[in-house]
């Protein structure tokens, strides 16, 4: 009696069952993306405030959608292939127009690692040229971290660069008959961070230039001096509505309170400390953090933020 064939069949059957269960689990945990209106034909998805997780597929950030007569414009493509599919389904619940353009507002994973999916759908992907080096340098590291957090939900995701790079500090494009303006002032959270401004609707998609409800993160590629220059451009535009990178859709006063004021106070404090030759540890401990402890993740992020700003000012 040949036992090899039944055993092989049983093994193959178990593998198929495991694959099927894994697929069901991925579907059950798929991120729930829903776009809500912020102006006529302009929508926002507000992501979770907490960290990347399997339930949000790494998409703990906000997205934008603009519906034009000639197609949809998606602002940021999500962190994974699976997430991008969910984003596309959410777009279809708003419009049957194809996604013809995708704008990446910066180089963080949830801004662009879904590009590959939309590229296969025929979309043109747009970003500022200052994002290119950052995307190339950190894309695979981002993906490795997402795989560790998301497991099978990250499968199939590949870093896919934009196909159109903007090079000027100020650029204007007409996409589907709608006027878009782009502002780049040297970056912010990441080197390629840029503002997406809809002048007709007076709506601003800030990407990771604006955080509300949770504390912003200063990471090794951040530049807080340029960040404040970019925020000054937001103040000059005086938008009626801001879709921040993280947190609820907001106004300029709240953006100042949760983003600009923190950066100004942190840089001012660290400049005094550096000029006085104060030790970095003492400078971090002396920063008056109390006004910002109301923001989610403040206690965890403040020491690292303060350390990086101190070192940045030392280099200036």
Percent helix / strand / coil, the chain, rounded to 5? 45, 20, 35
**pLDDT for residue 23:** 39
Task: Sketch out the chain's domains with CATH numbers.
Answer: 25-252 (3.60.15.10)
- Overall average pLDDT of the 230-240 stretch: 98
- Overall average pLDDT of the 181-186 stretch: 98
Angle between helices 298-315 and 224-237 (to 10 degrees): 100
Residue 19 pLDDT > 90: no
Residue 185 pLDDT > 80: yes
Contact 110, 87 (CB under 8 A): no
- Overall average pLDDT of the 101-112 stretch: 98
- Please, what is the average pLDDT of the chain? 92
Structure tokens at 147: 């795989």
- Overall average pLDDT of the 124-139 stretch: 98
- In whole angstroms, what is the distance from residue 76 CA to residue 62 CA? 8
**pLDDT for residue 4:** 44
Residue 241 pLDDT > 90: yes
Task: State the pLDDT confidence band at 32, using cuts at 50, 70 and 90.
Answer: confident
Structure tokens at 48: 């979770």
Contact 153, 57 (CB under 8 A): yes
């Amino acid at each position: 009696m040949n036992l090899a064939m039944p055993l092989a069949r049983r093994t193959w059957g178990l593998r198929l069952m495991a694959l099927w269960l894994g697929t069901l689990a991925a579907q059950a945990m798929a991120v729930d993306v829903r776009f809500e209106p912020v102006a006529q034909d302009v929508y926002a998805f507000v992501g979770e405030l907490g960290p990347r997780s399997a339930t949000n597929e790494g998409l703990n950030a906000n997205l934008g959608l603009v519906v034009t007569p000639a197609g949809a414009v998606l602002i940021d493509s999500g962190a994974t292939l699976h997430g991008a599919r969910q984003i596309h389904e959410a777009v279809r619940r708003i419009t049957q127009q194809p996604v013809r353009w995708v704008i990446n507002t910066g180089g963080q994973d949830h801004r662009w690692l879904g590009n590959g999916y939309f590229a296969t759908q025929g979309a043109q992907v747009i970003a500022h040229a200052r994002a290119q080096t950052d995307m190339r340098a950190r894309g695979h590291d981002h993906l490795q971290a997402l795989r560790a957090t998301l497991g099978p939900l990250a499968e199939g995701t590949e870093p896919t660069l934009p196909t159109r790079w903007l090079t000027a500090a100020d650029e204007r494009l007409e996409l589907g008959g709608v006027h878009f303006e782009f502002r780049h002032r040297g970056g912010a959270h990441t080197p390629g961070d840029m503002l997406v401004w809809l002048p007709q609707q007076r709506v601003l998609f800030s990407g990771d230039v604006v955080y509300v409800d949770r504390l912003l993160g200063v990471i090794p590629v951040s530049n807080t001096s340029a960040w404040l220059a970019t925020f000054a451009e937001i103040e000059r535009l005086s938008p009626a509505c801001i879709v921040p990178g993280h947190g609820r859709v907001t106004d300029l006063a709240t953006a100042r309170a949760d983003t600009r004021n923190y950066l100004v106070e942190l840089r001012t404090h660290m400049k005094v400390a550096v000029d006085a030759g104060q030790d970095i540890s003492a400078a971090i401990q002396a920063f008056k953090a109390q006004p910002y402890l109301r923001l989610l993740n403040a206690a965890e992020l403040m020491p690292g933020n303060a350390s990086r700003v101190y070192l940045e000012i030392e280099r200036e």
